Amino acid sequence: MKMSRTKRLERLLDRYRHGDLDRRTFLGLTAAAAATVGLSARWTGPALAAVQSVRFDGWGGVVQEAIDKYAFKPYTEKTGIKVVQGTFGDENEIITKVKASSPGEYQIVHSSGVEYYIRYVQGGYNSEINEANIPNMANVMEAMIKPFRDITPKLSAVPYDYGTTGIAYNTKVISPEEAKEKGVALLTDPRFKDKIGGYGNMTSRVWYGALGTGQNPNDIKDMDAVWEKIREQRDLVKKYWSSGAELMDLLSKEEIVVTDAWSGRIAALQQQGAPIGYLDPPGSYAWMEDMLVLKGSPMAECEELINFMLEPDTAIAVAEGQNYPPSLDPTKVKMTEKIQKLPAFDPTGKMENLTFADAAYWGEHTDEWTKQWDRIAKGA
């Protein structure tokens, strides 16, 4: 009898971890069942330990500060579940750590959209979310959900925010008129040698290399021309930055006067009074970020946390704090004036005016292009 009830506890724990039982029901059933066979110390202790914290890894800086202040702290106060946080500057860092970890060691990642989603799926690191446990997904823009569902009908991630990588420039050096006229050509203008910056990852460099050669980044015909354009810019660059905090520091200290840049970080600088302009030239890189739940995570807690983060009041507060529009459909949820004025904000909820990477196309070339970019970054 004790063995059969032990197996029942194991099944309960398995159901709970896969999101089939909510936390309250799980704890009640396991406490009652464990007590009847004298397993309380063995089962309720580990069970409670399993629900005491959720691991989250994100981009740090003002983005994570906003999420912590407006989502994590209120969630912990409400549920008692602590959110243990880590940070990364480039998502390749966290992917490398996930590959070397045991399932469940890393749980929720503030991930960079479908291009990275494919990589997690191909590596077998994705989970299956029970969407019934995240009712606030009903308010998320369908245009943001669809690209993920096209990859995995059962989602492992929920879209949370979006933005653009446009061109930031110091208005004391470059006028808005010049910026609009030159657009991406500012990134290779010899006039600004040793005052140019750029995000030091393959996607941004190839994307703007393609735009700089007049090509569609989702259908590049002359890759050699792109690599030459990247080399041209490399020889003019003061520094390739690796995090939003570093981007803001370089611009605020005027170590650089022009760079491709994340829209939300530039909005933050502008709100601080920095003389920084921002331009989204035609074809500039748009991206969406998601809350990705990795395989082996405590699904019920992760789903509960994401649902809390999608509460309109919470999501809007986070969006205002991090300066990136939320994934909530503005035709369903009224947005504040501040959000409506953010760079990249789409009032239609259809995302038709933004240019996103073709996940399949970029996924096909990621490894090859990353190796070549790494060589060029080192001087090849």
Q: Could you tell me the pLDDT band of residue 206, with boundaries at 50, 70 and 90?
A: very high
With 60 as the cut, is the pLDDT of residue 4 above it?
A: no
Average pLDDT for residues 259-277, to the nearest whole number? 96
> pLDDT at position 2, please?
42
> pLDDT at position 61, please?
87
Q: Which spans in 186-240 are helix H?
A: 202-212, 223-234
15: tokens are 């159901």
Domains of the chain (ranges plus CATH)? 2-49 (no CATH), 50-162+289-356 (3.40.190.10), 163-286 (3.40.190.10)
With 50 as the cut, is the pLDDT of residue 209 above it?
A: yes
Average pLDDT for residues 197-209, to the nearest whole number? 97
Taking only the tens place, the pLDDT of each residue in 316-341 is: 999 999 999 999 999 999 999 999 99
With 60 as the cut, is the pLDDT of residue 248 above it?
A: yes
Closest CA to 134 of 295, 287, 323, 328: 328
Average pLDDT for residues 262-275, to the nearest whole number? 95
> pLDDT at position 43, please?
45
| Angstrom distances, CA of residue 157 to CA of 49, 169, 182, 351 | 24, 34, 38, 18
Residues 189 and 171: their CA atoms lie apart, in Å, by 16
Q: What angle do CA 260, 266, 271 make, to 5 degrees?
A: 165
With 70 as the cut, is the pLDDT of residue 10 above it?
A: no
> pLDDT at position 77, please?
95
**Residues paired with residue 109 on neighbouring β-strands, in sequence order:** 57, 292
pTM (predicted TM-score): 0.82
Taking only the tens place, the pLDDT of each residue in 40-55 is: 445 445 544 556 899 9
Q: Could you tell me the pLDDT band of residue 90, with boundaries at 50, 70 and 90?
A: confident
With 80 as the cut, is the pLDDT of residue 18 above it?
A: no
> pLDDT at position 262, please?
95
Taking only the tens place, the pLDDT of each residue in 122-147 is: 999 999 999 999 999 999 999 999 99
> pLDDT at position 62, please?
87
> pLDDT at position 3, please?
42
With 90 as the cut, is the pLDDT of residue 1 above it?
A: no
